[in-house]
Amino acid sequence: MSNTKVITVDDPVLNMLGERFAKTWQRAPNSTELKALVDDYVLEEIYYRKALQLGLDQNDPMIRRRLRQKMEFFDSSRFEDTNATDAQLTTFLHAHPEKYQRDARFSFEQLYFKPIKEDALEQRLTVALQKLHTGELVKGDASSLPAIFNDVPASQVERIFGRGMVAKLSGLPIHTWSGAVRSGLGVHLIRIHQVQSATLPELSEIKHQVQADWLYARQEVARKKRQEQLLEEYKIEVISSSLAER
């Protein structure tokens, strides 16, 4: 009986090699390129078999991690073709509004005042507010900040003025000068022109994203359940004198 070892290069292997090549080069390989791909595949298979014979796959953290990833992918792939109903997606959307909610938006004017000695600042602000309420022109201190902000998302307001500014703006009356409002930059007198509250989009506007998130959530639940099932199949023995001493 012959001891010759066989490596089979059949149509599925050739198709796989051709598809890999096409993904990189956006075309099918010619005959010379295909022969080179086959030669490389054969050498890879030989080295792979030799490595297994030598046990090089054992206790290798990279190989262990990769095999775990492949098993987890195999388990999760069973849900890839699962489509939720609109009712399920709507329920998911309303259960996780923080993922999809659109920012509140603000339109306002601001006058900036440097944070100087408190008593002097308070007097300046009081006088400035009185003049503004009577329609007089008031100038604040020089600043790189724009005087007018139009339709600015809440997240951008926080980036510019610092954390907590959105909550302060939300509590101000519309169409009248108010203050003092303190930010991370200084002190401001502010006149709100318009506030658009945060809104949750309709499912039809973001259905693709919600479907993807819903599927991922299902996969995560299934993954954790699968891990629990696998752990039940094994008795775990931790043998360590260092752990025993703790």
Q: Residue 183 burial (CB < 10 Å; 0-12/13-18/19+)?
A: buried
Give the pLDDT mean for 106-126: 90
Q: Rounded mean pLDDT of 161-189?
A: 94
pLDDT of the residue at 244: 54
Separation CA 170–CA 50 (nearest Å) = 69
pLDDT at 7 > cutoff 50: yes
What value does the mean pLDDT take over residues 192-219? 94
Sequence-separated (6 or more) residues with CB below 8 Å from residue 98: none
* pLDDT value, residue 73: 84
Q: E strand or H helix at 189, and its extent? A: strand 187-196
Residue spans of the domains in the chain: they are 1-58, 61-101+201-224, 103-196
Strand order in the sheet with 148-153: 148-153, 105-113, 187-196, 177-182
**Average pLDDT of span 13-25:** 96
Q: Is the pLDDT of residue 77 over 80?
A: no
Respond yes or no on whether the N-terminal peptide bond of residue 180 is cis (omega within 30° of 0).
yes
Residue 105 near residue 195, CB atoms below 8 Å: yes
Helices 61-76/203-232 angle, 10° precision = 120
- What's the pLDDT score for residue 179? 83
98 token code pair: 């923080």
CA atoms within 13 A on the CB side of 72: 14
Q: What is the dihedral of CA 129, 134, 140, 144, to 10 degrees?
A: 110
The string of pLDDT tens digits covering residues 117-164 is: 778 888 999 999 999 999 999 999 999 999 999 999 999 999 999 999
Which pLDDT does position 116 carry in this prediction? 79
Residue keyed to tokens 């998911």 = 92
Tell me the sheet residues that pair with 190: 110, 178
**Is the confidence at residue 3, as pLDDT, over 60?**
yes
Max mean pLDDT among 22-36, 119-133, 208-222 falls in 22-36
pLDDT score recorded for residue 80: 62
User: CA-CA distance, 52 to 48, in Å (whole number)?
Assistant: 6
Out of 74-83, 137-146, 202-211, which region has the weakest mean confidence (pLDDT)? 74-83
Domain 103-196 is of which CATH architecture?
A: Roll (3.10)
Measured in degrees and rounded to the nearest 5, phi and psi for residue 228 equal -65, -40
Q: Has residue 246 got a pLDDT over 50?
A: no
